[in-house]
């Protein structure tokens, strides 16, 4: 799409959002033209906080389905729209509520900590939700002698064990995008002393990156990557997460250089959301995301704990 076409769609989307009383929220992994029309762009935690705080009547959620569900749980009185119902998440799909119930039955009394990338049914079986931005704080808020079941991301779980020194029982799920960033993808960086390496803890390369221990490696959530790049005196950064974050990094720190460690790190679910689908969603009031009240009530407590822990 060329610049005039994007600009015309931006105008159309903004007019519809105003007419419908909707706020547009977009995840950091959305395509640039969707990020640019949003009222707020952020990671899962930031978007959840925004969804809970907004006084708009509706939320057009440009992200994947579990995120829109989270917004619907936090704001049951608002209409939550997702522009494409097929925008799922391979990580969220790696555990079902039934599998979690079976796991809990094997470990009675254990506390369940779920990464926010889970379905509403799984959240309803969860004690604490977390994002990569506050996962460490959530684990550290739980008494040391308490057994913890952590799900669904294997790499984030392993990283948490390292930084907290706690032993966790970890579900063997993974995100196809982050697991696809392999140790070999970051090897070239070792020979580039002027570049800082920013790694998302879901990445398959996170363990190797931590092992470097050379002061130039930083394991960060996407939101913290942005804070870090803005405040760092360094000018060049290699980024190990989904490539959509590059747009926001470049926008927020235009004087710096950002490069992905892997051009293949693209989430096809995030990329299902387009400006045209967002326009259609606001115009035709589709697709409304709802969560059954009973499930929502059980899931809400775990999500509210996540939103409350910094």
Q: Which of residues 232-261 bind ligand SF4 (CB under 6 A)?
A: 242
The correct pick among 149, 177, 199, 253 for binding ligand SF4 (CB under 6 A) is 177
Does 186 sit near ligand SF4 (CB under 6 A)? no
Alpha-carbon distance of 181 to 243, in angstroms, equals 11
The correct pick among 130, 270, 291, 296 for binding ligand SF4 (CB under 6 A) is 270
Exposure b/e, 33-67, CB count within 10 A at least 16 = b: bbbbbbbbbbbbbbbbbbbeebebebbbbbbbbbb
Residue among 148 and 270 whose Cβ is closer to ligand SF4: 270
Please report how close the Cβ of residue 241 comes to ligand SF4 at its closest, in angstroms.
8
Size of the site for ligand SF4 (CB under 6 A): 14
The correct pick among 138, 195, 238, 267 for binding ligand SF4 (CB under 6 A) is 267
Please report how close the Cβ of residue 227 comes to ligand SF4 at its closest, in angstroms.
20
H/E stretch holding 130 reads strand 128-130
Identify the burial level of 92 via C-beta atoms within 10 angstroms of its C-beta, where 0-12 means exposed, 13-18 middle and 19 or more buried.
buried
Q: How many CB atoms lie within 10 A of CB 292?
A: 10
Question: Which of these segments, 10-18, 78-86, 87-95, 163-171, binds ligand SF4 (CB under 6 A)?
Answer: 87-95
The correct pick among 60, 64, 219, 220 for binding ligand SF4 (CB under 6 A) is 64
Please report how close the Cβ of residue 81 comes to ligand SF4 at its closest, in angstroms.
18
Alpha-carbon distance of 3 to 10, in angstroms, equals 10
Which residues pair with residue 252 across a beta bridge?
A: none
Helical H segments across the chain, by residue range: 3-20, 32-35, 44-53, 65-74, 97-106, 120-123, 135-140, 154-164, 176-179, 183-187, 206-212, 222-231, 245-252, 275-284, 293-308
Does 71 sit near ligand SF4 (CB under 6 A)? no
Please report how close the Cβ of residue 66 comes to ligand SF4 at its closest, in angstroms.
8
Residue among 118 and 281 whose Cβ is closer to ligand SF4: 118
Question: Which of these segments, 89-97, 137-145, 191-199, 279-287, binds ligand SF4 (CB under 6 A)?
Answer: 89-97
Residue among 196 and 242 whose Cβ is closer to ligand SF4: 242
Residue among 97 and 272 whose Cβ is closer to ligand SF4: 272
Does 91 sit near ligand SF4 (CB under 6 A)? yes
Please report how close the Cβ of residue 155 comes to ligand SF4 at its closest, in angstroms.
11
* Contact letters for ligand SF4, residues 155-174 (x by CB under 6 A): --------------------
Does 33 sit near ligand SF4 (CB under 6 A)? no
- Helix 275-284 × helix 3-20 angle, to 10°: 30
Does 291 sit near ligand SF4 (CB under 6 A)? no
H/E stretch holding 219 reads strand 217-219
- Closest C-alpha to 65, from 45, 37, 38, 84: 84
Q: How many CB atoms lie within 10 A of CB 93?
A: 17
Please report how close the Cβ of residue 90 comes to ligand SF4 at its closest, in angstroms.
4
- Interface residue list for ligand SF4 (CB under 6 A): 29, 64, 89-91, 117, 175-178, 242, 267, 269-270
């Amino acid at each position: 799409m060329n610049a005039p076409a994007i600009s015309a769609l931006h105008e159309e989307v903004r007019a519809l959002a105003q007419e419908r009383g909707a706020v547009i929220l977009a995840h950091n992994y959305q395509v640039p033209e969707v990020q640019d029309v949003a009222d707020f762009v952020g990671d899962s935690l930031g978007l959840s906080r925004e969804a809970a705080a907004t006084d708009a009547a509706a939320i057009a959620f440009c992200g994947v389905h579990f995120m829109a569900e989270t917004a619907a749980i936090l704001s049951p009185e608002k209409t939550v729209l997702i522009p494409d119902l097929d925008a799922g998440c391979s990580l969220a799909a790696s555990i079902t509520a039934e599998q979690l119930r079976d796991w809990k039955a094997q470990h009675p009394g254990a506390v369940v900590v779920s990464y926010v990338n889970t379905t509403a049914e799984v959240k309803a079986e969860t004690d604490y939700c977390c994002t990569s931005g506050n996962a460490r704080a959530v684990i550290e808020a739980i008494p040391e002698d308490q057994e913890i079941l952590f799900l669904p991301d294997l790499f984030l779980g392993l990283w948490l064990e390292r930084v907290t020194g706690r032993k966790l029982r970890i579900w063997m799920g993974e995100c196809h995008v982050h697991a696809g960033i392999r140790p070999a993808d970051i090897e070239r960086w070792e020979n580039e002393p002027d570049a800082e390496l920013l790694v998302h803890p879901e990445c398959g390369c996170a363990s190797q990156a931590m092992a470097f221990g050379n002061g130039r490696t930083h394991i960060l959530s996407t939101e913290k990557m942005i804070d870090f790049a803005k405040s760092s005196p360094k000018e060049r950064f290699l980024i190990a997460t989904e490539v959509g974050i590059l747009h926001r990094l470049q926008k927020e720190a235009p004087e710096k250089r950002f490069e992905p460690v892997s051009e293949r790190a693209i989430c096809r679910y995030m990329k299902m959301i387009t400006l045209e689908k967002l326009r259609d969603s606001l115009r035709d009031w589709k697709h409304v995301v709802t969560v059954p009240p009973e499930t929502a009530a059980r899931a809400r407590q775990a999500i509210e704990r996540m939103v409350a822990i910094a």
